[in-house]
């Protein structure tokens, strides 16, 4: 059995969930994906994730998800930890994708609570334990009740962390802050807690969290990384200041379903062709104008104003 202490010590800070760029014909733009990852690393991002919620995984085939993981792993080339999303509403697909992440050389896998089918807690336990037992790669459980319509209970997660040594942490996209506090109480203070709610990235650090997986980091990676750096350096005042500086951008990027506003913003910045696969689409013109105004306030250089 692997010793997971080394990756637990490295996997912290701003983990950017990089979007999947598409061309106008719906093909994945792999060259642009590599450029987006380089943009992240140049701006101090601490780790990279792909094919999570921001990567539109339900709009990708299984093979496309593997291709995105391979491209990301090759581009990162060991410079920071790589944590691809491998979860699905389908158990067998989750197993295959998690094993593929292990084969590719990912540092950990981010496995979401299955969406749409709303399994009960016993079923969730069986699902995650079977996935974890099938691989020798660290697992970060991804709990996002707003997307999955099911909340992974703290007691279920605690039992998983006890029974599966490679379940080393959780990404909590959970607005119930009492729940989040109890995760560390029940799972242990060394359990890796990541925020998936932008406005809770800083508060989760304050209770013992180790970082965040924030879609906003696609647009402004430097400031998101700096907030974490300041916190880890003990500069609480700067971390708090950056938390509030980011709030207006966080708000506008979640006025429509992620990653539509983020892709609109990246298009305005000239980073991508702003395109989503149906049934997703870009935000309304009104919201796009608001996004543009907000980016201008942050001094972000726009190629397409």
Q: Which of 4, 100, 125, 171 is catalytic?
A: 171
Residue 2 confidence class, pLDDT cut points 50, 70, 90: confident
Q: Which of 125, 142, 202, 271 is catalytic?
A: 142
Count of C-beta atoms within a 10 Å radius of residue 31: 10
DSSP code at position 164: -
- Give the HSE-up count for residue 129: Cα atoms under 13 Å, Cβ half-sphere: 15
> What is the per-residue pLDDT across 149-179, written as a single tens digit (0 to 9) for each?
899 999 999 999 999 999 999 999 999 999 9
- Is 186 designated active site? no
Q: Do 128 and 98 form a contact (C-beta atoms < 8 A)? A: no
Helix (H) or strand (E) run with residue 109 in it = strand 109-112
Residue 193 confidence class, pLDDT cut points 50, 70, 90: very high
> What is the per-residue pLDDT across 34-84, written as a single tens digit (0 to 9) for each?
999 999 999 999 999 999 999 999 999 999 999 999 999 999 999 999 999
- Give the HSE-up count for residue 219: Cα atoms under 13 Å, Cβ half-sphere: 34
- Is 202 designated active site? no
> What is the per-residue pLDDT across 207-233, written as a single tens digit (0 to 9) for each?
999 999 999 999 999 999 999 999 999
Question: String of b and e for 219-235 (b: at least 16 CB within 10 Å)?
Answer: bbbebbbbbbbbbeeee
What pLDDT score does 1 carry? Answer: 59
Residue 305 confidence class, pLDDT cut points 50, 70, 90: low
């Amino acid at each position: 059995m692997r010793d997971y202490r080394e990756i637990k010590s490295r996997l912290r800070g701003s983990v950017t969930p990089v979007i999947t760029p598409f061309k106008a014909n719906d093909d994945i733009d792999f060259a642009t994906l590599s450029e987006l990852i380089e943009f992240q690393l140049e701006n101090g991002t601490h780790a990279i994730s792909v094919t999570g919620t921001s990567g539109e995984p339900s709009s990708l085939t299984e093979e496309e998800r593997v291709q995105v993981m391979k491209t990301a792993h090759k581009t990162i080339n060991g410079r920071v930890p790589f944590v691809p999303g491998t979860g699905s509403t389908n158990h067998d697909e989750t197993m295959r994708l998690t094993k593929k992440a292990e084969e590719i050389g990912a540092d950990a896998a981010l496995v979401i609570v299955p969406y749409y089918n709303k399994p009960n807690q016993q079923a969730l336990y069986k699902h995650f334990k079977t996935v974890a037992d099938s691989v020798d790669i660290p697992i970060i459980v991804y709990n996002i009740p707003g997307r999955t319509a099911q909340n992974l209970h703290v007691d279920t997660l605690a039992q998983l962390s006890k029974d599966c040594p490679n379940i080393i942490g959780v990404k909590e996209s959970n607005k119930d802050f009492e729940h989040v506090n109890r995760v560390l109480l029940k799972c242990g203070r060394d359990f890796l807690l990541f925020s998936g709610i932008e406005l809770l990235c800083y508060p989760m650090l304050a209770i013992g969290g180790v970082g965040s997986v924030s879609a906003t980091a696609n647009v402004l990676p430097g400031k998101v990384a700096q907030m974490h750096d300041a916190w880890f350096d003990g500069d609480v005042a700067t971390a708090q200041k950056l938390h509030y500086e980011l709030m207006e951008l966080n708000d506008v990027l979640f006025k429509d379903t992620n990653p539509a506003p983020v892709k609109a913003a990246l298009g305005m910045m000239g980073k991508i062709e702003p395109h989503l696969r149906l049934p997703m689409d870009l935000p309304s013109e009104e919201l796009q104008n608001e996004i543009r105004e907000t980016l201008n306030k942050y001094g972000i250089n726009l190629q397409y104003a």
